[in-house]
Amino acid sequence: MSLRNVAIIAHVDHGKTTLVDQLFRQSGTFRDNQRIEERAMDSNDLEKERGITILAKCTSIEWDGGAGESTRINIVDTPGHADFGGEVERILSMVDGVILLVDSSEGAMPQTKFVTGKALALGLKPIVVVNKIDRADERTQEVLDEVFDLFVSLDATDEQLDFPVLFASGRNGYASDDPTAREGTLEPLFKKIVEHVPAPSADPDGPFKFLVTLLDRDNFLGRILTGLVFSGTVKTNMPIHALDPDGNVVETGRASKLMAFRGLERVPVDEAKAGDIISIAGLTTATVANTIADPSVSEPLHAQPIDPPTLSMRFAVNDSPMAGREGTKVTSRMIRDRLAREAESNVAIKVTESEDKDSFEVAGRGELQLGVLIETMRREGFELGISRPRVLFRDGENGREEPYETVVIDVDDEHSGTVVEKMSVRKAEMTDMRPSGGGKTRITFSAPSRGLIGYHGEFLSDTRGTGIMNRLFEKYGPYKGNIEGRANGVLISNGAGEANAYALGPLEERGVLMVGVGEALYEGMIIGQNAKTEDLEVNPMKSKQLTNFRASGKDDAIRLTPPWKMTLEQAIAYIDDDELVEVTPKSIRLRKRHLDPHERKKANRAKAA
């Protein structure tokens, strides 16, 4: 049986996970009567809810091309979002070819550029699939030209520029050389993979070598290491050792269990040969980027370097008056152990402990990546206090440097002026502006990451929810100076108790409320946004004094506007430097870092001095 290892790369929402579903069905991986979930590869709850791929996953299908010999195709579904790029870079070292999927209407987007650049730099040859050709607003030929221009801008070789093209609809399960086709099967895609992607160039006769690219845990087997066998053969219970990238022996042990991918399942196998993508259990400290090898091997395999983190947040023990009421994991030791596990398996995250041992600085690729980590911990029962994200500066040749992002915005023509104005306030420079059809304009900016924190909500309001913003780490560039933060102050509760309708009614005139009637409050908790720039302490618990006197008419029934309930990402982006987000399994609350008003004044005076 011949073997092919291929990765599918695409921008968020361009349909790669749906296409993999159809490849499963048409290769006979699922029985005809087998009930299978839509987007089967997105196994994580958060992936299903958000409709995005967060964790890279391996799978395998067998295809019989009709010539008698079947081919096993190992497919890796990669995350489309740049925040999870730590996964992508490692994954690409396991495969020999890539399928680049682009939407027939949206075309080549920033995240497409990110992953494709990594693939081309590794010398992988792409197969381009223009997906969703049955869309009413498809512009297939223009999109193909955009992809070619993208490859040229990424310094693709002549061989890489001579890429095969297929036109497909992943949802309807067909692919064709003809862009006008509207029915058929995915047979042409299977053929292109077998013809165009080379077989693994592994050494079957050398000593066993295996590079770890993914790490996960199993309650029964412990640490499971997934990667590609670069040379030799490994058998169950064979003695092995792990080498770090510098060649030092990390640990020795045995390959107690070998597992290969068959469809969506990981099944035990007795041996694996060069070129196979497998999982190994039996080691306790080996991690991502380590080389697992025969004890005679002393030279490690080259591991792909990872782009540095650009954003950090402070994860602290929840010290609010309501701490410990909703979560089960509230101590610094539990938080430390959980973050250490995360940093172990996710190489794009760096964790450092503060001197007071009660908080941890967690650095990552972006707000979405850290937001997903916080949401995952919250669902596991953790309570946390999260600070405002801050970018990580570095010292360059010309002084202080900060991270920049390429921002591509698709917006209705009528809103383009507002967007350009708001982005210029955030020190962004416009690099391109062109019509993108259907009364929309595509604007490209180079913007400091610092200025984009908290802008997405405002952007959606400015564009009436119709704008689409995509961001991608670009470079470290010169420090842009002071960027104005949030324009509005906040309403702060001056005591503890329950929110009262009689008190909230007049407060609505002061700004936008974030709490409803009957909600438990504490001193220093943020209950709303002030219409003015300064913070305002208010009493949201004040009730009406009851007397024996009757009003001449009935008291007007107090009608309150529904409170503004933020999602986790919105809350993290909204808060200022002196505020925290209190995250528990059931609630997301905003609060001041110093709950006592005297402490706040003292901190403000110290900051001003």
pLDDT at 111: 63
pLDDT at 219 over 70: yes
User: Cα dihedral sign for 516, 518, 520, 522?
Assistant: positive
Query: What integer is the mean pLDDT of 164-180?
Result: 87
DSSP per residue, 435-475: EEETTEEEEEEEEEHHHHTTHHHHHHHHTTT--EEEEEEEE
DSSP state of 382: B
Say if residue 13 carries a ligand binding annotation: yes
Say if residue 133 carries a ligand binding annotation: yes
Which residue would you say has higher pLDDT here, 453 or 448? 448
Q: Three-state SS for 101?
A: strand
pLDDT at 216: 77
Say if residue 18 carries a ligand binding annotation: yes
Q: Are 284 and 223 in contact (CB under 8 A)?
A: yes
d(CA 352, CA 335): 12
Say if residue 241 carries a ligand binding annotation: no
pLDDT at 559 over 70: yes
Q: What is the pLDDT of residues 190-200, one digit of tens each?
A: 888 888 888 88
pTM: 0.73
pLDDT at 41 over 50: no
| pLDDT tier at 553, thresholds 50, 70, 90 | very low
- In degrees, rounded to 5, the angle at the alpha carbon of residue 120 between the alpha carbons of residues 117 and 125 is 140
pLDDT at 35 over 50: no
Q: What percent of the chain has pLDDT over 90?
A: 10
Say if residue 236 carries a ligand binding annotation: no
Say if residue 252 carries a ligand binding annotation: no
pLDDT at 329 over 80: yes
pLDDT at 53: 44
Say if residue 349 carries a ligand binding annotation: no
Say if residue 14 carries a ligand binding annotation: yes
pLDDT at 451 over 80: yes
Query: What integer is the mean pLDDT of 150-155?
Result: 85
pLDDT at 49 over 80: no
Task: Spell out the domains of the chain, with CATH numbers in brackets.
Answer: 2-196 (3.40.50.300), 209-293 (2.40.30.10), 394-478 (3.30.70.240)
Query: What integer is the mean pLDDT of 305-312?
Result: 74
Say if residue 132 carries a ligand binding annotation: yes
Residues in the chain: 609
Sheet of 291-293, strand order: 249-254, 239-243, 291-293, 209-218, 222-231, 277-281, 257-262, 265-269
Query: What integer is the mean pLDDT of 359-375?
Result: 84
Say if residue 17 carries a ligand binding annotation: yes
pLDDT at 550: 59
> Mean pLDDT of all residues in the chain?
82
pLDDT at 44 over 50: no
